[in-house]
Amino acid sequence: MRDYTIFIPEFIAAGSALGIIAVDLIWPRVRKDLLAYLCAVAAIAWAVASVFYIGKTPNSFQGLIQVDDFTTYFRLMAAGIVFCIALISPNYIRGRIDAAAEYYALLLLGCCGLVFMAAARELITAYISFELISFSLYILVGFLRRDIRSNEASLKFILLGAFASAIFLYGISFIYGATGSTYYDSISKAIDANGSNTAIVVGLMLILVGIGFKLAVVPFQMWAPDAYEGAPLPITAFIATASEVAGFGLFLRLFSSAFHTGAHEWAWAVAILSAITMTLGNLVAIQQTNIKRLVAYSSIGQVGYMLVVIAAIGYGDAHAGAGASAGLLIHITGYIISTLLLFAALIAYYNRTGHDTIRGMRGMAETQPFLALIITVALFSYAGLPFFAGFTTKLLMFQSATSNGLLWLIALGVVNSAISIYYYMMIVREMYLFDPDENVKRFSINPLLAGLAGVLLLAVLFIGIYPGPVLHGASKASTPLFQAGADATSNVTAQMLPK
Amino acid sequence: MSFDDAQGYLVLSTIAIPLLAALILVLLPGERKMESRYLSLIAGALVLGLSIYIFAAYQVDSSTFQMHLRWVWVENTAFLGKNGITFYLGVDGISAPLGLLNGIVAFSGALVAWKIDYRPKQFFILYWIFIAGVFGTFFSLDLFFWFLFYELATMPLYLLIGVWGSVRKEYGAIKLVMMLFGGSSLLWIAIFAVVHDAGLGTFDLTALWNAGQSGVFSPTFQKVFFPMFVIGCGFHAALWPFHTWSPDGHGSAPTTVSMLAAGVLMKFGGFGIIRLGIQLLPAGAAFWMPGLMVLGVIGAVYGAVAALTQKDYKLLSGYSSISHMGYVMMGLAAMNQIGITGSVMQMFSHGVMTALFFLLIGTLYDQAHTRNLPEFGGIARKMPIWAIFFTIAGFTGVGLPGLSGFIAEFHIFVGVFRSYPIFGALAILAAAFAAGYIFRMFATVFYGPFNPRWEKLKDISPVEGVAATLLVLAIIAMGVYWSPFTDRIGPTVALLPGLTH
């Protein structure tokens, strides 16, 4: 049956995107800030509409797109990301970007792609969603038309991204050739029945590379530092959050169902990618002087930690996998909140001073103590220091992913996490240990940004101190992932039993 | 609600009051310097009172955990089973004296920090976060919160040293913080392994101890992860060869922070080895304790020899701390009741003694602005009261009977002699070196020809005098009347698994 009601939240989001463009077309003189608020309201409506799907029986659109608690969790994260990015953008955009309507519309559309990446249960659908968010990002990264770095970043991003998409498609063709289907369930059944073969493994590796590009997994990370540096600051935040959420949504859905039975074929590859990603990301981050590039490498390191969970899913059974997925979801949640918090402060500072180098943050504790505090909290949360989200979520994630075969990877993750404290401390050092350069006076910041940062700060503390509700939600969200896989397995087992 | 439960809220208050003080300070305008000092004084007095109460009200005849407070935090979700994460506080005979130590040092530290004039508000915010972390570590019975507080106590140190420190403060601060967090990363790994291997889906320490003592962890597993806990905690305890942060960190830290880092933070090491090593992995302890003994002896002798050669009195104290913490490790490694009892007593004794040392050094440095020992001479003439305090601290370090150092080290030496007589002899050698470096310091600083450059030195200020008196009282109290300590520590230690008799 074609049940269109499961798309209502995305109808709202995409409809609002078109609506925002329409408003700008009809009233070209409209205040651009208003468009941002419209976008934020649309995000709230999106989230509210999603809430109605919590706890309902999983429902799918012809087996292509599944709406269950996992999808809902990603809808809420997507709406949250759009809401925050919309609110941190207007001041930055003013005077820098003319096409504000398209900017906000692309945020909404890109996040629709994010949701469908997590909701897809079929490879072509996943691919189209993947392209939807990728194209939104290509355009958004190049939005500063008069800035050569923004243009360069966008071009690099498009070329490498197109390459990644091609590899992804190529992988799908292998899988289709070997199993005769692009549906996750059918792939899983085919692997169950006939065992794995070279074509499947090659296809799988190509898909891994394709998504690896999206997530900036080493060695496919080349676009990330340039894209982060060249993009408008709010879009840097958008890449750092949406892109990672999307990639892991697809990873979780795909590897928990389609390829879970043949896990030993790919788990080792993910473990190795994870190890080099976190190590390289953290080591290169130490040498950065630009805050955006530093965040780029630090988020590459974070992706490395998160990949540990994907490897753990490969090494464990469905029960361990569900626990680990819950760990990953709570960590991603904490990570995006910390990132949005960091960028709210960076944008407020940039709007005022025009600095985006680490050196430029010298003496911030004197000129704007609130921002210095916010940045410190966000960085400490990244580093996994206590009371902040990062400590709790990283601990829960690594704990949930721990198994005898993967302890070496967990250990590497922990060591990397300790290394990362160094370069985060170096930023704290600039802000707190030195006096400001010139005779910079204390300045005040935009109340909207300050308010948003305050709310996000409380969220970081809440998750860090009382992770219960979020972990509970993450646990519910990750239950349906392995349910489907378990059902499929039990069906096959039932067929094989003698009647 | 039983009386014991009601007392649990007092234990909670030791963590809540410092955090509340930090929160109020955040909201206080930065210009109101006096108010932030008074607020800290009040908070300090409260935690001191609470820690004294907890120590006194501890029921000696029952050696299990007391003054419970248990809130279920997260359970039965994801990989967590029943009692997955609980906010679980309790006091035993080991944590009661250490809590008392923290109360005493926190109060005197708040007094000493009175004279800080550069951003006192921010200083005290970080200070109280630190104190909350220390109390939380001593009283937590859930591994999640234990570790959370453990890391919380390390976190503020970078800014406390980096902003308010002196000589080479950036280097000292980053070195200290990176080494301590590096040590913590070993703890992270071992904690993940232990919680996973126990298979209970819980961070409840009491449940994990039961698992560990009933043989859930295989001997190989214990042999692999016990050293991780010991080395991880060893960074905090300045266990040789993981001690190098101590001289640099103490050298650049402001007075109050040195008092706390040496007085309290280093105790995390010994405490952690008892909690996570001996109690959790007894077979690992049985296997590795001779190794810890060797490191402890090296630390004790090396610290003392290095202290003999120092010309900077802060570095001297840093090395002397390494030496004294070496004794703590030796007492633990002896694995008998008297040795470990001595270790816990030594942790208390060294805590108050070294806090007093750093306090007095700070008093002198603030006026003299040099830390070069040979430049001094005949100071006792100008600062008689200061010199008396300093003498008491020094005699405690040497181990003079009647002061706390003697009784603690005596217990340790007896314990070590019972298990490893040769190492016991070496430990006494280290004590002889201690006499050497302390009396040398007395001789160069107090006596000898008076250097007219120090004509303007003033004696210890009343505020610091109060703080120093409190520390001296603790030293003398333990030195002459130690049974309250042994009554609490001894029976609790006797319950530890794997002790030899």
C-alpha distance from B193 to closest chain A C-alpha (Å): 7
CA B221, CA B229: separation in Å to the nearest integer?
12
Tell me if B477 is assigned to some domain. Answer: yes
Burial B290-299 (b: 16+ CB within 10 A, else e): eebbbbbbbb
Question: Which of A407, A474, A478 lies nearest to residue B193, judging by beta carbons?
Answer: A407
Q: Write out the H or E segment, with its range, that includes residue B400.
A: none
Instruction: Report the pLDDT value the prediction gives residue B60, as an integer from 0 to 100.
Output: 83
Structure tokens at A26: 């009809």
Is the separation of the CB atoms in B143 and B203 below 8 Å? yes
What tokens does B256 get? 């109050």
Question: What does the alpha-carbon distance between residue A407 and residue A493 come to, in Å, rounded to a whole number?
Answer: 32
% of chain B exceeding 70 in pLDDT: 99
Chain center to CA of B253: 16
If we measure between CA atoms, which residue out of A73, A34, A48, A47 comes closest to residue A325?
A: A73
Give me the mean pLDDT over the B314-326 stretch: 88
| pLDDT given at position B1 | 61
Among residues A276, A264, A262, the alpha carbon closest in space to that of A307 is found at A276
Please name the member of B155, B191, B192 whose beta carbon is closest to the beta carbon of A385: B155
Task: Inform me whether the C-beta atom of residue B171 falls under 8 Å from chain A C-beta atoms.
Answer: no
Query: Chain B contact for A390, CB < 8 A?
Result: no
- Work out the angle between the directed axes of helices A267-285 and A291-315 (0-180°, nearest 10): 160
Q: Residue B219: which domain range?
A: 3-494
Burial of B448 (C-beta count, 10 Å sphere; 0-12/13-18/19+): middle
**Interval B388-445: pLDDT, tens:** 888 898 888 888 888 888 899 999 999 998 888 888 888 888 888 888 888 888 888 8
Dihedral of the alpha carbons of A222, A228, A231, A232, in degrees to the nearest 10:
180
**Integer CA distances (angstroms), A330 to A58, A73, A308, A334, A335, in order:** 21, 10, 14, 6, 8
The residues of chain A scoring below 70 in pLDDT are 1, 439-440, 484-499
CA atoms lying within 13 Å on the CB side of residue A185: 17
Average pLDDT, chain B: 88
- The token duo for A178 is 């070997």
- Cβ(B83)–Cβ(B143) below 8 Å: no
- Assess contact for A16 and A47: CB atoms under 8 A: no
Q: Tens of pLDDT along B165-203?
A: 887 888 888 888 899 999 999 999 999 999 988 888 889
pLDDT tens digit sequence for B201-236 = 889 999 999 888 888 888 899 999 999 999 999 999
Chain B contact present for A380, CB below 8 A: yes
Asked, for residue B499, whether it belongs to a domain, the answer is no
**Residue-level pLDDT at B375:** 80
Both tokens of residue A479?
């239950």
pLDDT at A494 (0 to 100): 40
Judging contacts by C-beta atoms under 8 Å, the chain A residues touching residue B174 are 422, 425, 429
Residue of B nearest to A428 (CA): B159
Contact B102, B119 (CB under 8 A): no
- Nearest alpha-carbon partner for B348 in B107, B134, B98: B98
Of B304, B5, B266, B24, nearest to B153 by C-alpha is B266
What's the helix, strand, coil split of chain A in %, to 5?
Answer: 80, 0, 20
Q: How far is B167 from chain A (nearest CA, A)?
A: 14
Stretch 467-486 of chain A: residues touching chain B, C-beta under 8 Å:
467-468, 471-472, 474-475, 478
Choose between A437 and B119: higher pLDDT: B119
What is the model's pLDDT at position A439? 67
Nearest to B326 by CA among B342, B337, B310, B314: B342
What is the number of domains present in chain B? 1
Q: Average pLDDT of B238-255?
A: 86
CB-CB neighbors (< 8 A) of B85 in chain A:
467
pLDDT for A5? 86
The pLDDT, as a whole number, for residue A484 is 56
pLDDT at A499: 35
Model confidence at B456: pLDDT above 90: no
CA A152 to centroid of chain Cα atoms: 23
Instruction: Decide: A216 and A226 in contact? Cβ < 8 Å.
Output: no
Helix (H, G, I), strand (E, B) or coil at B90: strand
Helix axes A291-315, A244-257, angle to 10 degrees: 10
Q: Does B500 fall in a domain?
A: no
Nearest-neighbour CA in chain B from A261: distance (Å): 21
From chain B, the residues in CB contact with A324 under 8 A are 79
Please provide the distance, in angstroms rounded to a whole number, between the alpha carbons at the two ends of chain B. Answer: 40
The alpha helices in B76-141, defined as continuous H runs, are 95-112, 120-139
Q: Could you write out the DSSP letters of every residue in B209-242?
A: HHHHHTT-S-HHHHHHHHHHHHHHHHHHTT-TTS
Which amino acid, residue A279? Answer: T
User: Which pLDDT does position A133 carry in this prediction?
Assistant: 93
Distance CA B174, CA B161 (A): 9
> Cβ contact (<8 Å) for A398 and B74?
no
Return d(Cα B180, Cα B238) in angstroms, integer. 10
3-state DSSP: chain B helix, strand, coil percent, rounded to 5? 75, 5, 20
> What pLDDT does A496 receive?
39
B371 is a domain residue: yes
Instruction: Please give the Cα distance from B129 to B415 (Å, whole number).
Output: 36
Is residue B182, in this structure, part of any structural domain at all? Answer: yes
Q: Is A428 on the interface with B (CB under 8 A)?
A: yes
Could you tell me if residue B399 is inside a domain?
Answer: yes
With the CA atoms of B261, B265, B269 and B274 taken in that order, what torsion angle do they form, in degrees rounded to the nearest 10?
Answer: 150
* Three-class SS state of A61: strand
pLDDT reported for residue A193: 86
Residue A396: predicted pLDDT: 92
Q: Does A317 touch chain B (CB under 8 A)?
A: no
B501 assigned to some structural domain: no
The Cα–Cα gap between A330 and A395 comes to: 10
